[in-house]
Amino acid sequence: MNTENSKLWDIFCKVIDNYGDIGVCWRLAVGLAARGERVRLWVDDTSALDWMAPGGAAGVEVRVWTQPIPTNDLVMGDILVETFGCEIAPEFIAAYAMSTRARGLKSTWVNLEYLSAEGYAERSHGLLSPVMSGPGKGLTKHFFYPGFTAGTGGLLREADLLERQARFDRTAWLQQLGIEFQGERLVSLFCYEPPALGELLDKLASDPQPTRLLVTAGRATAAVAAWIKDKNSSQPAWNMRKSLSFSYLPALTQHDFDHLLWACDLNFVRGEDSLVRALWAGKPFVWQIYLQHDDAHHSKLDAFLDLLHATPSLRDFHHVWNGVSQAALPALSLAEWQQTVTAARAQQLQHADLVTQIMRLA
């Protein structure tokens, strides 16, 4: 790794909720550092990194984003990355603008936007916005849209991802979690509180094929526990055949979250980062999109399903899982869904990854 000509990137992140923002920012920071770049990750709440990335990463320095940021003795970096409209502190922007001008260097200010399969991502990717006033006057913002087409900024993907997947030992990894794999169907559950959760659990419990549900820590565990409590009270014999078993997982590092997706036959994921990881896992998956009160998430979900070339059963399942449709939950059609995901993954592997593309701006 050659760091002689490396740049210093300042990535700014505000943790809103559900850890999606910090998850994406950490993967970006680690991806840049793996290419020999130096990264300062400014985060207003670093607590999630304690379990998400307990060992840190070489080349990545985590800084607590205080208000204001002391800049007097701070060596300014080369590239600013403002993630998800977090609004970098004005005193930092002013110091950056002054530093780049004093050194006669190119300034690069990147606005990293949310992932979407909608058409605006391709139309807006790469647009420039000159800053005409304020502390950043004279700078130019570069709008960077992740996406699924060649005309967008691509998806986060590590250079060694396929190699790591090829080496993965499912049985050994499960044993590390105290799970003795007996050949049952494995399903991961990383979700908010999907309206069809109870119907899914009923369906799995009545299926003659044994299923083990690997439930992630946090909201998924709370949702499952609440449903089971109600079900045991109203219908104690609902899982009499023990066709459905449960394994409640601890908070997983990002690497182990990848391992979870690789280990399972079906993955239920939520938000942005886990959607991308499920696609790279190459296993059938169902996405719970982040709820928006004006139902804007409906069109965002359909845009992704269109891009995926989702079969009718996969589309219907997503609509019910996300509350778009009030119909009954369709049957699991894993063999059919596998063909869809395999084709989509192969297509995405043809595109340049996000880190490769964002480095072209430096």
CB 260 within 8 A of CB 279: no
**Residue 21 designated active-site:** yes
The long-range contacts involving 169-172, CB below 8 angstroms and separated by at least 24 positions, are: 170/262, 170/263
Find the catalytic residue in 272, 273, 316, 353. Answer: 272
**Reduced 3-state DSSP string for the chain:** CCCCCCCEEEEEECCCCCCHHHHHHHHHHHHHHHCCCEEEEEECCCCCHHHHCCCCCCCEEEEECCCCCCCCCCCCCCEEEEECCCCCCHHHHHHHHHHHHHHCCCCEEEEECCCCCCHHHHHHCCCEEECCCCCCCCCEEEEECCCCCCCCCCCCCCCCHHHHHHHCCHHHHHHHCCCCCCCCEEEEECCCCCCCHHHHHHHHHHCCCCEEEEECCCHHHHHHHHHHHHHHHHCCCCCCCCCEEEEECCCCCHHHHHHHHHHCCEEEEECCHHHHHHHHHCCCEEEECCCCCCCHHHHHHHHHHHHHCCCHHHHHHHHHHCCCCCCCCCCCCHHHHHHHHHHHHHHHCCCCCHHHHHHCCC
Cα torsion angle, 175, 180, 185, 189, sign = negative
**Residue 158 designated active-site:** no
Q: Which are the catalytic amino acids?
A: 21, 272
